[in-house]
Structure 1
Amino acid sequence: MVHQNNTEVKVFSSTELRTIVMLEKWTTLVIAMAALGISGCTNGEDNPMVGRHKALIAYQEGNYERAVQLREEVIEKHADYPYLWEVLYEQGVAYLDMDQPEKALPYFDRTIEIDPEYNFAYIRRAECYDMLGNYEAALADGNKALEVSRISSEFADLFLTRGNAYSQNGEYEMAAQNWEVGLKIAPGMVPLLYRLSDFYLRTDRVEEALKMIDRSLEVENQNPEVNLMRTIALARLDRLEEAEEALKRTQKVNKENQDNHIEVPASLQELMQNMRGAGTSVESPPAPMPLTEIADSQSQQEQAYEVSRKYLISQGYECEEKPEGDLQFISCKLDDQSYLIRVKSVADAQADSFGLTDAELEEMMKQSPPAGLIVVTGIDTSTSSPQPNPAGRVAAFTKSWRPDPARLSPIAYRYPLPKAEE
């Protein structure tokens, strides 16, 4: 922690900054669900989004030179494009991926000229300076990135989500790195403490696990599972008297907590036997987090379509009648502008994210302007027939999806959803 102008500023290591850069490549505060109004774009060839999409495809295929060429055409033809700073930034990232920091630098300069609050441009420019040996400038940009980041607990949520995604893919060390960075941002965030405690226990880093567990219990001490983890950690460290007391505490909390009741050993001896049976250290890392259940049956898609259509009409859109067959898209109009909106349904009412496949993203990007997206959560999966007043809520909506090639991963397109209002 350092102080600037009497204000405490979080300081990250170079490894952690690289992790932040990787998060930004995945989503940028994980690709905001923002509506894009493209003024003056009447056909595909005159639409900067088309050029960006073509560059996206070339970029993901590893054809960086082609991506750079296409993006340069967008920059030259559309100087008044509202999101020109994004294109400039993407161009700089492409040159960095080509190991040409001297060519990347001017694009980050121009990005910062347009948007001096864009923290990732400073991070990437710092990377350029570092590669070019200008370490003082790299440090200055790194500090500036921290200054303008306004890092918040919402940012920590993103690292939690990203860590969970890495865990799902079996990349446990990368998952832990993201959880650790998230914890620097929000030191008292219980889900992060829990994930790291479990990870450290399973990878035989018991002392570190115990520290995380104790921090978690300082915030919330009535969770029987975390109390049991503390008992296990103490037993693994041969601190048996403390483990005995921790087990009694776990049993008491478990008895009082009917909503989160777990199976707790009756004695420390039983716990130790269970540990010996499983081995002193867990051989495999944590089990992958289950991804949000996607509602993909025809009846569920019909429910999502009806919820989406009612929402769009309430927002002033003129929507076509429900067509026969394919209900993946809704055609609608607003102020004489036509839109095609992709309907995405998610079963879990409390879902905090949703996924898009390569095929879905490609299908949306074929349109000009790109198709929009509406996400409906809380779809009823128990029924196989359409309902007259289907359940579900619109969790996110954008009338035109805007890609950010430098911020998408070709492995997993996963985006956060805003929390449901109470």
Structure 2
Amino acid sequence: MRKPSPAAVPDELQRRLGVFDAVVIGLGAMIGAGIFAALAPAAHAAGSGLLIGLALAAVVAYCNATSSARLAARYPASGGTYVYGRERLGDFWGYLAGWAFVVGKTASCAAMALTVGSYVWPGQAHAVAVAAVVALTAVNYAGVQKSALLTRVVVAVVLAVLAAVVVVSLTSSSSSAARLGVGDDATFGGVLQAAGLLFFAFAGYARIATLGEEVRDPQHTIPRGISISLGITLVVYAVVAISVLTVLGPKGLAEAAAPLSDAARAAGADRLAPVVRVGAAVAALGSLLALILGVSRTTLAMARDRHLPHGLAAVHTKFKVPHRAELAVGAVVAVVAATVDVRGAIGFSSFGVLAYYAVANACAWTLRPLEGRPARIIPVIGFAGCLVLAFALPLSSVVAGATVLAVGAAAYGVRRSVAARTP
């Protein structure tokens, strides 16, 4: 059967993005506020085993990225694992992946908002976080979206700030390579928990896969874009973690409210600390804006499919945005940001996102060789790694995450039961 011409399918998005654009989008999604927020909770869990936790998180992220890339090449449509799960495993698994994404990324929004508060006004972090959520929800409601140019600017600012912290930390007289060794404070469980928390900072690579309808030659562009951006991000994170550890040590890093600015101050670069705070705030605000956009659009898609209340599928007649979905997401994020700490938000977010990628790896396992199936070991390690890291997270995060997923599954069952009884 002949493929329809582009003119016959006017609803398709235009394929304009190449490899470079995909890499920039991946870097913008990953190299952001995550590195400013996740190091301290991870150091609290792993102590001097922080770098091992970072390596484990990177391995799981690589497997997830590979599985996601192969699936995105096979299904170059917006929606990510929400689409893959439905196509490969059935409607329920697609729904569960979408539900895990929404709840996990909602917690990510709260974590980013709290990061803004921690760096801008540590004493009033929760109040600043709520104010940031309200302000950006209002911006999104008016239809203002972050442009590709702004993404590049934010990435450049963040990389410049991170480079400055690395240089002053590694050249400081207070630096000590001995602090990088794995000491008695590192435990196997703590390292796994740190890996789960640090996974939070890698999760943005899926942004490339969700743009499948807008990428040129998706079978090649998406895998390359994900691999390159993930590799660059890992190098950046490793260098930053090493430099901060050499100045603060595991204990100092674990206790830091704003670890990168604290590292700059400990290295004797007091004038750099305000710059780091501004850079962290810019990164967190950029990530928060993108996350609210992403979660509200996924909420819109699920509401259209009636997996969420159908009223959330409404589009504003003037601003042409899913205004009810945006207001609902903003309200939930504001409540979470007002009531939890950064570690709790990151842990809950990581649990939801790891569940999302566990479904992605299960989908990748079902691919046939002619469909671009990755080496069998990749989805196996990815699936097992997601489950291990998810249940190694702090107990409160595991209980809360599992409960929310169970509530989502129950809601799906009730909806299907009602639909089956409806004539």
If the TM-score is normalised by the length of the shorter chain, which range does it land in? under 0.3
* Greater fraction strand: 1
* Greater fraction helix: 2
TM-score (norm 2): 0.23
TM-score (norm 1): 0.23
Pick the structure with greater CA Rg: 1
Structure with larger RCO (C-alpha < 8 A, sep 6+): 2
